Chains A and B, each alone.
Chain A
């Protein structure tokens, strides 16, 4: 039965993927193409966040720092050196090293303590990175940021759209495999009951740090794609808004589901787009964070499982108890 259900879901994913691959060839709209590219990039970012929040039960308020590290690394490499493919690969490698290092140190420092410490420390360190990006003018050009050229193969919008789409699918498949692996199971056990996992003989800190590093590296990758898509980078990549985006996407889409993160990314990016257009109608829509903030508060209060979690609940009544637990995971 479970196998059958899995197959049906896989068929749906496949159909959606094929539809998205064909889309740019049959329907030509530059705006939609760029918007969807953004959705894919932020979906990767939100999925990386989901590994922390949804699968391990860790709250980070500084996820933007990994995103920003990726964006700045690629930007600085393309600006300082020739914009060639080997340099791009080198910048990806440097991003992996940097994000892994930062997330490892942060995790080691605070993950053995209660959950607020990680939230607090990540927020403070992300603030530090923002200040660093503003002050280290010789490299980052301060608040204004800088533009850079990208390798020729990334110049075409349609090609880049496909690259982002394929990256998103790859990350999704990889994380699906990761969360279903024995390691992923331990992470979910930590989310459900940390003390029990520890007393079963698992070194909880060790697993939490692994989750933190995996999530950090993937967030760095999404930052790289983001910077390439804009061919421009400034300090906004380190701001709280980026972290907020990840939070909104995972929570509204559904924590601990991965698909939820993708759906959430789509919803938030499109809503963002529409609200920006509406700003011409009434100035209150310029302050769209208020709407998102209120929706977010209500979602945390009343729909802690998000769209996907709630839908699953309705659909598979038999699984209800299990799913409810997943919703309360936000609890522990």
Chain B
């Protein structure tokens, strides 16, 4: 029982981190038809800049704020200089965002050095609660709470505000939205920035969770996020959280019971979705 609860919490926490990464990816894809291969790079930049601010100021929340700010700035720059010049050209977009991904992860090594950087949760989030003989690690609960909050917030904005309405309409039919006199370019930029900020937030939350950060982690998590996006359906926001939790849980349970199969199981899941439901579980377009 104790093992089950711990594995579930662990899986949920990892799932939430992947969700933060995949949510931006799926929204950007749904709205702009851009698959951003540099998203993992933004994630890693969030982790590094956030951890750097956290360790130098001592305040974890300053670190989180710093990571979000980094995400917003990098998102703005990426949209303006990298994505915009190649709008509507799928192959060029794929190629160019991969190039950016590599430059971003190498730049990390230039700025913060090639070695791993360690991080630990702040004192008020360290340690664990004991309920009977079940040990619950505080930081995992914190991550799950933050993930759910972000989900609720974005879901609220999408469903109940004017901007959310425009974004949802844009996912369905960009041209129509444009012909109604709405500046869709501005919406694109905003969604891209928010997506990048969510990725950066995921990165900084991961740092104390896994204990170390390194430049290659962007690519590793990006691959998981791609799997999530394919399973959940490109462009589906609720799909991304369900698929992320699914991938997180299957990862944590498999790592405990059949460790050699933990990555393969996600691949099998993705292959099954691609064969039987190529648009994803909740996808609107293929």
Contacts and interface: CB of A to CB of B under 8 A. Distances in A.
Contact of A300 (B29, B86, B219): B86
Interface in A98-141: 109-110, 112-117, 119-121, 123-125, 127-128, 131, 135
B78 to A, nearest CB: 11
B86 A301 contact: yes
Interface residues of A, number: 40
Interface residues of B, number: 39
Interface of A: 53, 57, 59, 61, 109-110, 112-117, 119-121, 123-125, 127-128, 131, 135, 240, 244, 247, 251, 284, 287, 289-290, 293-294, 296-297, 300-301, 304, 330-332
Given A124-B270, A125-B267, A293 B110 contact: no
A114 B98 contact: no
B110 A57 contact: no
Contact of B96 (A61, A117, A301): A301
Interface stretch (B99-107, B119-127, B128-136, B177-185): B99-107
A120 B270 CA distance: 11
Given A112-B278, A115-B90, A297 B100 contact: yes
Interface string B21-37: 00000000100000101
Contacts of B100: 293, 297
Q: Is the interface of B mostly helix, strand, loop or mixed?
A: helix
Q: Is the interface of A mostly helix, strand, loop or mixed?
A: helix
Interface of B: 29, 35, 37, 82, 85-86, 89-92, 94-96, 98-100, 102-103, 106-107, 109-110, 219-220, 223, 226-227, 229-230, 260, 263-264, 267, 270-271, 274-275, 278, 286
A293 B99 contact: yes
Contacts of B220: 127
Given A113-B278, A293-B102, A301-B85, A124 B226 contact: yes
A235 to B, nearest CB: 13
Nearest to B88: A331
Contacts of A119: 35, 37, 94
A127 B106 CA distance: 19
A296 B99 contact: yes
B261 to A, nearest CB: 11
A125 B110 CA distance: 29
A293 B106 contact: yes
Q: What 5 pairs between A and B have smallest CB-CB spacing? A: A293-B103, A116-B35, A297-B99, A293-B102, A296-B99
Nearest to B262: A131
A53 B270 CA distance: 24
Given A294-B103, A297-B99, A116 B223 contact: no
A285 B226 CA distance: 32
A284 B110 contact: yes
Most chain-A Cβ atoms within 10 A of its Cβ — which of B91, B267, B275, B286? B91
A114 B107 CA distance: 31
Given A110-B274, A301-B96, A331-B90, 12 more contacts: A57-B91, A113-B286, A124-B226, A124-B227, A127-B223, A240-B219, A244-B102, A251-B95, A284-B110, A290-B103, A300-B92, A300-B96
